[in-house]
Amino acid sequence: MINSLLNFLEKYIEGILRDKMKAYKINRKITEKINLDLIGSMLIEKI
């Protein structure tokens, strides 16, 4: 009984961590793109 509960918790936590990592990677890609766009527009303004 306790074993199956621990197994469930372990899988549950792994799932949460995996989702967080996916979200983090997506957010990082979006932020990088925004930063590149900002840098690009700043460079264009200077020219």
Note the pTM of the prediction, 2 decimals. 0.57
Measured between alpha carbons, how far is 2 from 36 in angstroms, rounded to an integer? 51
pLDDT digits (tens, 9 = 90+) for 1-47: 889 999 999 999 999 999 999 999 999 999 999 999 999 998 888 77
pLDDT of residue 35: 93
The CA dihedral of 20, 21, 25, 26, to the nearest 10 degrees, is: -30
Domains in the chain: boundaries:
18-46
Give pLDDT, residue 37: 93
Q: Which residue has the tokens 């700043």?
A: 42
